[in-house]
Amino acid sequence: MRWGWLVASVLTVGCGGATSAEDFGEELFQDSRLSESQFNSFSCATCHASTAKPEEGHVRAGYSLYNSAFRPSWWGGYETNLLNAVNFCYVNFMRGVSPLTAEDPKSRALYEYLVHISPDSQAPALPLTVVKDIQDVPRGSSSRGAEVYSAACQTCHGEPHTGKGRLTQLASILPEVTDEYDSLFPGVPHQLVVIEKVRHGQFFGVSGSMPLYSREALSDEDLGALLAFLGL
């Protein structure tokens, strides 16, 4: 195992007795309080499913973490240590002040949970195609774009035009946020700013703490349909 320690099978939690490490890990997986930052609203489950089959009606930025524990690499081959792969998310998207250590009970429990949902000890690495150069994409069906918005955007950004139900008040209201782009990104077409935010996430400093969407997570066709729905 590439996490650096053996995990005890039971953790003591509060005064309520004991819970299994994998159960504690599952709770942490679902809880934004895994990160101690008061500004974090993401949990692991915001960007990752934990099921073997694709989720109906959801398009998440990251792969399902089912069968993730024993992959030979993560992040498209850039990371070969599981704890480091977790910490990439923890620090960059969940605003973790410092990386989780191998001795931290939270990271121990997360590992136990990931092992629990990883029955294949020979699970292959998965591709991650990050779009290098931002370019416009052909528009698709607005009706398909509405489905893409509901599946990929609404969890964080809430309902279009109002933001009702958004994950945090810091999440932009779409497409109204583009009204600010002429002053924030002068001379840049609005649709290219949106594509930049989708394809590169918070990297390059234009998209808060948003995760990136690789081509495996969101095709150019669906991105074009989303832009059509947003009127861009």
Q: What is the DSSP letter of 228?
A: H
Please give the full DSSP string across 195-208, using - where no structure is assigned: HHHHHHTTTTSSST
* More confident call, 22 vs 207: 22
pLDDT at 13: 45
- Strand, helix or coil at 84? helix
Q: Report percent pLDDT > 90 for the chain.
A: 87
Chain mean pLDDT for the chain: 92
Mean pLDDT of the 109-125 span: 97
CA distance 16 to 4: 29
CB 89 within 8 A of CB 47: yes
Residue 19: band (very low, low, confident or very high) from pLDDT cuts 50, 70, 90: confident
16-38 mean pLDDT: 88
Contact between 175 and 230 under an 8 Å Cβ cutoff? The reply is yes
Mean pLDDT, range 157-164, rounded to an integer: 97
Give the range among 5-9, 123-127, 177-181 with minimum mean pLDDT: 5-9
**Would you say residue 214 has pLDDT above 90?**
yes
Residue 38, burial from CB neighbour count under 10 angstroms (0-12, 13-18, 19+) = exposed
Helices within the chain (DSSP H only): 21-29, 44-47, 82-92, 105-116, 142-148, 154-157, 181-184, 190-200, 220-229
pTM: 0.89
Compute the average pLDDT of residues 134-159: 97
pLDDT surpasses 70 at 63:
yes
Which residues fall within 8 angstroms of residue 7, CB to CB, at 6 or more apart?
A: 21, 108, 109, 111, 112
* pLDDT of 59 strictly over 80: yes
Q: Residue 85 — very low, low, confident or very high, per pLDDT cuts 50/70/90?
A: very high
The angle formed by the CA atoms of residues 210, 216 and 219, to the nearest 5 degrees, is: 85
Domain ranges of the chain: 10-116, 142-229
Q: Once rounded to an integer, what is the mean pLDDT over residues 154-165?
A: 97
Gap between the Cα atoms of 95 and 179, Å rounded:
28
Domain 10-116 CATH (choose: 1.10.760, 1.25.40, 2.60.40, 2.70.98): 1.10.760
Q: What's the pLDDT band for 12 if we cut at 50, 70, 90?
A: very low
For residue 203, which amino acid is it? F
Among 98, 100, 95, which Cα is nearest to 85's?
A: 100
Q: How far apart are CA 170 and CA 177, in angstroms?
A: 11
Quote the pLDDT of residue 6.
39
Q: What integer is the mean pLDDT of 204-225?
A: 94
- Give percent above pLDDT 70 in the chain: 92
Higher pLDDT, 11 or 124: 124
Average pLDDT over residues 179-183: 96
